[in-house]
Chain A
Amino acid sequence: MDSNLLKGNLELILLGILEEGEMYGLEISKATNARTDGLFAVSVGSLYPALHKLEAAGFVSSVERTPPRGGAKVRYYQMTKEGGKLLEAKRKQYLTFDSAMKKFVEKEAGS
């Protein structure tokens, strides 16, 4: 998978995951990898800047607390109402892009 493709859609991926409910970094990474059958191998390290960016912009909120497994506290992220709007907008944007790209891909494949 081209890392640039992944990077360009990281916000969509993260919000899509957080739509299911609050999670902390490690869980988000696992959920991403699981949902895409390992195609998107998102390192936990690369998730944090993206999560913090979304939080700074008000699209997710976070709270620090001890996870059920115990041990050191982690930061749980959840999508805000504004994040939900962004997710919808990003989805529409992606589908429009995808629809346009398919025309090239299908033409290429058919030729």
Chain B
Amino acid sequence: MKGDALERYIRQATRGLYGEKRARVVRELRGNLEGRINEFLAFGDSRERAVERALLEFGAAGVVSRGMREVHVMPILNKWTVAAGMLGIMAFLSLSATASGVKFTLDAPVPVCEHTSVGTLKANPCAIRGTSWLELDSLLEVLKSQGVRVEREAKTGLATQVQLFFPGQTNPVVVKTLNEESAQYPASFELTRFQRSDKLYISTSQFLQALETFPLTLTVSSLKNPKLNIAGVKLELGDRANLVNIQVALERWVIGRALFSPAYSPKANSGTLESPQAGGPFSPFRVFFPVSGDVRDTQVQPRPITLKLSKNSEHFYLLMTKIATLEKGKIVPTLGLELLERQPNNTLISRSYLLNGKFVRDINALYNDDDQGTGLLWAINLEKPDNLLDTKNPIVLRSSDISY
């Protein structure tokens, strides 16, 4: 029955949508499809033929459903990526941003990585596009002006350690310009800190990682030119002319946490993340992204995989996950980022994103007909941690390789 074909098409085209949003799209599709079918009927087609032609014109149901999910199910991501183009254009029409006081630079001390050839950090450091560095003195001044007590250890050269005592907190946040990661990857030192015109710069990523050692809540207004609220202390990064994007910093932070966690033990094809520690190997640090004007927050919570969600918990979860990939016919455990979306019944559905080991920023790229939108943002081969950013031998990932 071709009538069934129409209903089946509408069902497929609205897959993944729920509630009123789904009802709205169903009505819209049906109204337009019926209109077109009636036009074909008026030209003398049989009902069966008319339905067939109308559906052909409308295109693949999968394309519609993917596009609709992207708009209605992943609105936060849309604001970060898809709509970024539109909103970016609108930005120059809006009012100017408030001056932050924190000096920064986007001018990397090392070459910027090519999109498809990031290279190995150890041998050939390169900065991922979008990385920013904060000038340490100005950062400390802004913090001091808001009641943060700063104790700076005077060390030689670039090795500096700063203790930040936030108001009401007894334990300090420790910002090091050299950390364990940079010790393991000497050639990447330049990425975490460098000196220019007698000023010391630390990467925004480094600063965020330092905050993570402390059980406080950090709220971030947006990924671009964010306003940070660290236990009541406010920081603004970026300005109109120089866009600071902390997406890379946050991704690096999450990946770094997972990579250097000894408790993390991925198993190929097990379908779950396993950790001997209660609550997972990560500290209970929570980062919220209340995207302006949107009541649904996105929460970065790297662990645990088994999330017990309350009715009012956050809508999206950015989660470290283990997947198994096939490399030359061999199953290789890899680590990646996934976006999980909370469903009405409080289960989580994966909205992972990334293609073939490439650092994919444009989520639209996942929704073409060739790829079914499966993958992870960034694959890391855990068996070769030295090749953390080595995409010369990309890990190829297909949807058929993964089960959740």
Contact of A74 among B28, B58, B66, B71 (CB under 8 A): B28
- Chain A residues within an 8 Å CB radius of B32: 24-26, 44, 74
Number of A residues near B (Cβ < 8 Å) is: 33
Contact B68–A49 (Cβ < 8 Å):
yes
B328 to chain A, nearest CB (A): 31
Known A-B contacts A72-B34, A74-B28; the reply to A45 vs B60 at CB < 8 A is yes
Main secondary structure of the interface of B (DSSP, over half): helix
A68 to chain B, nearest CB (A): 11
Does B273 touch A at the CB level, under 8 Å? no
Number of B residues near A (Cβ < 8 Å) is: 36
Q: How far is the CA of A82 from the CA of B57 in the complex (A)?
A: 31
- Chain B residues within an 8 Å CB radius of A49: 64, 66-68, 70-71
B260 to chain A, nearest CB (A): 38
Contact of A45 among B59, B75, B86, B89 (CB under 8 A): B59
B22 to chain A, nearest CB (A): 12
- Chain B residues within an 8 Å CB radius of A7: 364
Q: How far is the CA of A57 from the CA of B82 in the complex (A)?
A: 10
Contact B61–A45 (Cβ < 8 Å):
yes
Contact B31–A73 (Cβ < 8 Å):
yes
From residue 44 to 92 of chain B, which have CB atoms closer than 8 A to chain A? 57-61, 63-64, 66-68, 70-72, 75, 78, 82-83, 86-87, 89-90
Q: How far is the CA of A11 from the CA of B364 in the complex (A)?
A: 14
Q: How far is the CA of A28 from the CA of B36 in the complex (A)?
A: 13
Contact of B59 among A26, A46, A85 (CB under 8 A): A46
- Chain B residues within an 8 Å CB radius of A26: 32, 35-36
**Can you sample 7 A-B contacts with CB below 8 Å?**
A45-B59, A45-B64, A49-B70, A56-B71, A71-B31, A73-B27, A75-B24
